[in-house]
Amino acid sequence: MAGVSGCVKYSMFIFNFLFWLCGIFILAVAIWVRVSKDGQELLSSEESVNLYVGVNILIAVGATIMILGFLGCCGAIKESRCMLLLFFIGLFLILLLQIAAGILGAASRSESEKILNETLHKNVALLSSTTEAAETFQKALNEFQEQFKCCGLVNGAADWGENFEKYSKSCECPDTQDASCTMFGNKSVYKQPCISFIKDLLKKHIIIIIAIAFGLAIVEILGLIFSMVLFCQIGNK
């Protein structure tokens, strides 16, 4: 009868050991955010509900990856068909969830873009506000303006209202003859508002996320193949 391939066995072990380490890292970071002083300050912000849910999801993901990695490692070394089968089922369910999430994400893409557009338009009011929360947003956009050579969020420099003088330096255009510049008051500023740059940046990040998800799917498929091959070899031994 055919024996168990050492190459498949130890490849499966190494794969799952790395998988297990990734789970520990994700779980450790998520728990640190929940219990650390900096994390508590972050979770007490206005967006705390969404962040709190996100941290809980990371804890669940990290714990699940750890358990699957443990099952895969032990199943490979001890040649346990039961552990390998549990690993296969768990990894297969994760792969199905990823596919479902990808389909839902693609189906709701237009709705997501609409929500993003509405959110950015609502945040215009923060630029002319004087509250503490508004100041945090203003500083973030100020840095964004300086990096991407834009001014304002939706309507250009006018979005800043009475706060324009405070943040006008990042809006100033050095070349007054440049077609991308316009006059606002007595200053030459960038004509292009930052909304288009923000949308482009988010689209690039989405592409990166899709690429990572695709890479993970390939790794998961390899894990499924290794586990099933080893499962069958142990059964035939």
Single-letter code of the amino acid located at 56: N
Q: Which domain holds residue 46?
A: 6-108+214-236
Q: Do 24 and 81 lie in a common domain?
A: yes
Q: Do 132 and 92 lie in a common domain?
A: no
Based on the number of CB atoms within 10 Å of its own CB, is 44 exposed (0-12), middle (13-18) or buried (19 or more)?
exposed
Q: How far is CA 171 from the centre of its chain?
A: 29
pLDDT score for 43:
52
Buried/exposed code over 130-168 (b: 16+ C-beta within 10 A; e: otherwise): eeeebeeebeebbebbeebbbbbbbebbebbeebbeebb
Report the chain (237 residues): mean pLDDT per 10 consecutive residues: 67 83 83 69 50 72 86 86 90 84 72 79 89 87 91 92 90 81 89 90 80 80 86 79
Q: Helical H runs in 44-162?
A: 48-77, 81-107, 109-122, 124-127, 132-148
Q: Do 185 and 220 lie in a common domain?
A: no
Q: Do 18 and 102 lie in a common domain?
A: yes
Q: Do 188 and 226 lie in a common domain?
A: no
Domain annotation covers residue 86: yes
Compute the distance between CA of residue 196 and CA of residue 149 in angstroms, rounded to an integer.
12
Q: Give the total number of structural domains in the chain.
A: 2
Domain annotation covers residue 228: yes
Compute the distance between CA of residue 156 and CA of residue 150 in angstroms, rounded to an integer.
8
What does residue 97 show for φ and ψ, rounded to 5 degrees?
-65, -40
Question: 152: alpha, beta or left, given left = phi > 0 and alpha = psi -120 to 50?
Answer: left
Closest CA to 30 of 12, 42, 45, 14: 42
**The two structure tokens encoding residue 200:** 């482009």
Q: Do 159 and 68 lie in a common domain?
A: no
Q: How far is CA 237 from the centre of its chain?
A: 44
